[in-house]
Structure 1
Amino acid sequence: MTAPWRGGSDGAEAAPTPVIDTSVPHPARRYNYWLGGKDNFAADRESGDKIAAVYPPIRTAALANRRFLERAVAFLAEQGVGQFLDIGTGIPVSPNTHEIAQEIRAGARVVYVDNDPIVLSHARALLTSAPGGMTAYLDADMREPEALLSDPALRKVLDLDAPVAILLISVLHFAPDARAIVGPLLDAVPAGSYIALTHLSKDLLTPDVAAQTDAVNQRSGVEMWFRGRDAIEGLVDGLEILPPGVVPVAEWRPVDDPAERPTPDQASLFALIARK
């Protein structure tokens, strides 16, 4: 892989785009497929269809997850947060984190992180800050949080001595040891910082679907770890979990009509926001 692009709205030069391996599925591209996007390949669609065959509401779940991101960023900006670290951002879909945050706080700064080259190519074109704010994109792996946090491009955009909102939206279930990711991230930010996360859970699946999750993992080409509600809450031990607590993703401060809201088994992710 060639050197990643590290730049933002300050006009930093871009390195050549890394080669994209289209033969294996990637979570960002599969998620794009479920959201109805065009930036995916046959391997991503095949993986997505295998999961949809067992869990037909997967596209509903993806949309509910995306809407939580939008609500969460707006909520955090309204609390006065001006810095965001969006890890596992995926292929840009408007409104993006910086668009939502800067609509409320014009000077908001956002660092996006992902490890898929196709996300990189879109980030160059689309993740451009409004005047007064700043954005950057890091081609990095969330499983190496210390390296991510020490990256000069991140340090150029974010002041880690001031509160930061860490966004881990639908990504921790791709890690066998989520604590090894969350712990260093929270240790690196000061009191007054926040973490927003969503996580797949068997707790919200019907018994039939829950019983098939292991087989789906093997067939999908992208391994996932389904954690229970208590384990997800345990990821933020010592933090203040804000109301309404750890809840199904569509039930976190919803703004839609209850009749149109997906049920927990149709959007089987837990969501939370906690404050350090």
Structure 2
Amino acid sequence: MPVAARSLPQKLRVLVTALWPQYDLSKAYLSEGTCHQVVVVPGVAAIRIAPETAGPELRRSVALHEHLAGLALPFEVPAPLGEVVAYEDRVAVAVTYVGGASRPQPDPGLSDLTPLRELLAAIAAVAVDDSLREHLAQPYGYAGGDPFAEEVDAYVLPRLGPGDAQVVERGLTELMSLPAADPPVLVHADLTGYNLFWNDEKLVGVLDWDFAFEGDHAYDVACLADGFGFRALASVVDDEVLARARVYRPMFAVEAATAAYRSGDTRSGDRILSRVRERIAAGTFHTPPADLRD
């Protein structure tokens, strides 16, 4: 998920010039993601860059994006333009440029929610066979995968006061009590506003499928809730899906904090937990920002 955009640092300019000398970087900029950096060459390509140690994960992601880009989805998926290559202590890959732009978050509101309904349906309709499954992540993969509850117990709960820990524990219990998806479907797992590209109110691209897994459709609904709100999504999905999404959504911040602490990024973990404490104190832990608007 891109979290910031800024001018291109010289070190990355040197890397891109060495590996892709044909690209004109005069208008290129850097988009900082959760797990990687992206050098965007407008109208031409996007170059994903990660530490050398993340090479296997980047190659898995490239194979996944290549598979998805080959499907007849009603939006663009960035497709790799070549193999993952190494440069000094980094690995990188160029992918196709996706036009359009993300919308403000929380979203000011679409006049017609049909694009969201079609987006969710298109993702859930993708056939998850062995050729796709081998490239998918685990649920909560970047926060520890299957033993997610144990990871939260180890990394997050000890850092919270008793009252806040009780709220998070209750949310975790509800999360772990959700029935398994039947049938499981493809889940993008990061359908935040930054990963959805639009031309006006037409959805034209969906980026960053790195965390995609096979599981519950309601997880993607929960991701959309931050930008659009559960009140709007109530007209997009049925009550049962919406109820499950309400369980997933407040735990996203806990998931992100767990991932940060596991990776040794204590500063980011502390910043995320500070927001969790603020939301609990304000009584908004379960309420997405879009639903806090008047």
TM-score between both structures, scaled by the size of structure 1? 0.30
Larger Rg: 2
Q: TM-score, normalised by structure 2?
A: 0.29
Higher helix share: 2
Bigger RCO of structures 1 and 2 (CA < 8 A, at least 6 apart): 1
